[in-house]
Amino acid sequence: MLLPEVLRERARTAPAATAYLFLDEHGAEAAALSYAGLDRRARAVAARLAAVAGPGERALLVLPTGPDFVAAFFGCLYAGVIAVPVIPPRRGRAHPATHGIVAGCAPAVLLTTGSLELDLPIPERIAVDEVPAHGPALDPRPCAPGDPAFLQYTSGSTGSPRGVVVTHGNLRANQEMIRAAFGHDERSTFVGWAPLYHDQGLIGNLLQPLYLGAPCVLMAPLTFIRRPLLWLTAISEYRAHTSGGPDFAFDACVRHAERADVPAGLDLSSWRVAFDGAEPIRAETLRRFAATFAPHGFDPGALYPCYGLAEATLLVSGSVPGRGARELRASSAALGAGTLREAVAGEPARVLVGCGRPAPGVDVSIVDPESGEPCPPGRIGEIRLAGANIAAGYWRDPEATAAVFGARRAAADGARTDAAAGLRTGDLGQFADGELYVTGRRKDLIIVRGRNHYPHDLEHTAQAAHPAARAGGTAAFTAADRPVLVQEIERDTEPSAAAAAEIAGAIRAALLRDHDLALGELVLTVAGALPKTSSGKIMRSAARANHLGAGFERWGVSPVNRAAG
């Protein structure tokens, strides 16, 4: 069944069962939706939509995590209107990316709340919280697998956001892939906090539980950011089977546990799938998390590294439930030469975390990015994908769609075939013992004297080189054929030329020692200077453009001498 049919069936067979429970900023229950209640609200929103927008037109969803967002999203699915979730505004102003999204997809209607006023060029506006649940209702319009369900705008960490066209068939296929790969059933309670305008929050945390008929507990992203341990408290209280987030979420919990007492009575023994994805996964992060929370019932076997992207709807590969994370001590020299192999004793190594096996129904191949020919075993290449979960393309961008979704790879017999079309992920990696290891982004790769350097490795080394180097505040890239690194400094560090020289020396020494890399330029800048996506990822291409343009404010350097560093 397609998702509108799934909700209708849940409302028919289990009308009073709780579909979603929403927590407030203190972790208390603030609202709930049953399947029947959600179906009623979605049909009411669909009726209002049908009066102002036809099937195939777009609706911009500007709503926080809560019942209104869920009703609006399913109202769009019921009405045949293409949902476009975007970042909720802060201080009454739309996020800068929202204006570009509006220009690109031309929404016919804005779905928001009555208290929110936004200056956006959208013809119609519906306050979802003011639509009466028992007012006029619209039964779901028939939809086909190839019909667009929503546009997932990418985070823009490597360029301008693009609207990925996710069809009803893509959703159905990937929901089944997630179910099979994670070992889910109707008893797999979820707890989530990831933003619902991103694929992990929307498809993984919101739609997968509905697909299963499992209960879901949601909190706002800002609640997690302010109180990471409240996430674990919810997992404990509601006996969650599945929950997760990007790597930084696990690190944030460890950092807070080190600074404050872990909540009394915390019991994580129910947590069977602790998924970690959406950014590079650090072995150190997983080890520290397991060690910190094992005394509170956490099983390291629950750690579930995974890999996915919006262009593949969400999931591509994942670990084996109960197995835990798999690590590979990869030879640093081999990685620099574009090869993946285990390091021998005494050889410098980089510990990689495996992203599991391809989900059932996904064809993952490793190819030479230029020729499209399969890479021999051990040779790192571009990850390309095929399967029913691969999205239809980018909204009204045929050139980008052809470049990314129209790739061709060689068939097993070496013959070229249109049937072997594949999605260019732009990610680099290789298999080892059946496990997929993602080594970096092709566009971000820094090549010096024929050796490959992965930006996230350089950034991690820089952040660990000195206590004043701000975690999550580093960007490494190439400018004018020279390797450049921009490092934010912690706010509580007293600026001075001497301190800047000490920090810069520590970073340069660490990069030379660990990566045999002499930086062309090192820029120390103030906290918050680096551009980031809404999900907190460093935008390296934007950082490079800023460096080549106006430049970054130099930390610890007097205004008359900003060329130092």
Q: Which of 327, 358, 355 is nearest to 343 (CA)?
A: 327
Q: Are 311 and 277 in contact (CB under 8 A)?
A: no
Q: How far is CA 519 from CA 332, 456, 468, 485, in A?
A: 18, 15, 19, 7
Q: What is the pLDDT of residue 342?
A: 96
Query: At residue 558, does pLDDT exceed 70?
Result: no
pLDDT tens figures, 276-287: 998 889 999 999
Query: At residue 89, does pLDDT exceed 80?
Result: yes
Joined tokens for residue 348: 């410098």
The Cβ of residue 112 has, within 10 Å, a number of other Cβ atoms equal to: 25
pLDDT band at 406 (very low <50, low <70, confident <90, very high): confident
Q: Which of 89, 158, 86, 88 is nearest to 424 (CA)?
A: 158
- State the Cα–Cα distance between residues 335 and 349, nearest whole angstrom: 9
* Architecture label for domain 446-548: 2-Layer Sandwich (3.30)
pLDDT tens figures, 332-360: 999 999 999 999 999 999 999 999 999 99
> CB-based contacts of 71: which residues, under 8 Å, 6+ apart?
33, 38, 41, 42, 44, 45, 128, 131
pLDDT tens figures, 131-180: 999 999 999 999 999 999 999 998 654 456 789 999 999 999 999 999 99
Q: What is the pLDDT of residue 535?
A: 64
- 446-464: b or e for each residue (b if 16 or more CB lie within 10 Å)? bebeebbbbbbbbbbbbbe
Strands 349-353 and 363-367 turn out to be: unpaired
Higher pLDDT, 418 or 375: 375
Query: At residue 564, does pLDDT exceed 70?
Result: no
This prediction has a pTM of: 0.87
- State the Cα–Cα distance between residues 497 and 555, nearest whole angstrom: 9
